[in-house]
């Protein structure tokens, strides 16, 4: 692993992994109704602080994506092999999480599939996927940027939970008691 990825243009760069992720994501989202997509991206109940923290996290995420897109793949390194495996696991979990989300009733908190073990499985799987992409380009700074993005996302999740409590009331509070915010005990 290097401090920064080896940036450049070429066929064997991180864009391959990112474009494949986008294709899979778009295909998966196309199976969702407009109501499901609207619910997924609804930020109307977020407070100003949550929106600001989310915006800061997105700036680090965009910087991360740019370095991944132009980062040369570290083919032949153990990080590349591990990164590819982690990436595929994250991508698979993300697709399943979106399908779980899609199949849930629109008027209740989502509690089916991976939502039985994580209140935020899409977020967890997305960060697993990005960890894999970071490993295939072998960059420590990308891991730092991902850490900042995850920290900001945590505060966004706290704001989202307030909005979900307001939206669903007691049923969401019960769900929060039963299921970890991220995974197992986190």
Reported as a single tens digit per residue, the pLDDT across 115-172 is: 999 999 999 999 999 999 999 999 999 999 999 999 999 988 888 888 888 888 888 8
Distances (CA, A) of 66 to 15, 16, 153, 181: 9, 13, 19, 29
Backbone angles phi, psi at 174, to 5 degrees: -65, -45
- Tell whether the torsion through CA atoms of 16, 156, 168 and 117 is positive or negative: positive
Question: What is the pLDDT confidence band of residue 185, given thresholds at 50, 70 and 90?
Answer: low
Global pTM exceeds 0.85: yes
Lowest mean pLDDT among 14-18, 52-56, 63-67, 163-167: 163-167
């Amino acid at each position: 692993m290097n401090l920064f990825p080896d940036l450049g243009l070429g066929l064997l760069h991180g864009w391959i992994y990112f474009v494949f992720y986008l294709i899979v994501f778009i295909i998966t989202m196309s199976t969702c109704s407009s109501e499901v997509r609207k619910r997924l991206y609804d930020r109307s109940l977020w407070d100003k602080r949550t929106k600001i923290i989310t915006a800061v996290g997105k700036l680090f995420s965009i910087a991360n994506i740019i370095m991944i897109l132009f980062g040369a793949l570290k083919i032949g390194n153990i990080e590349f092999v591990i990164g590819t495996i982690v990436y595929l696991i994250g991508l698979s979990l993300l697709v399943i999480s979106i399908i779980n989300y899609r199949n849930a009733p629109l008027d209740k908190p989502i509690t089916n599939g991976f939502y039985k073990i994580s209140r935020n499985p899409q977020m967890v799987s997305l960060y697993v996927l990005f960890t894999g992409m970071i490993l295939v380009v072998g960059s420590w700074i990308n891991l730092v940027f991902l850490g900042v993005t995850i920290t900001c996302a945590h505060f966004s999740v706290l704001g989202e939970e307030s909005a979900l409590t307001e939206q669903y009331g007691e049923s969401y509070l019960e769900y929060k008691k039963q299921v970890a915010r991220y995974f197992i005990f986190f």
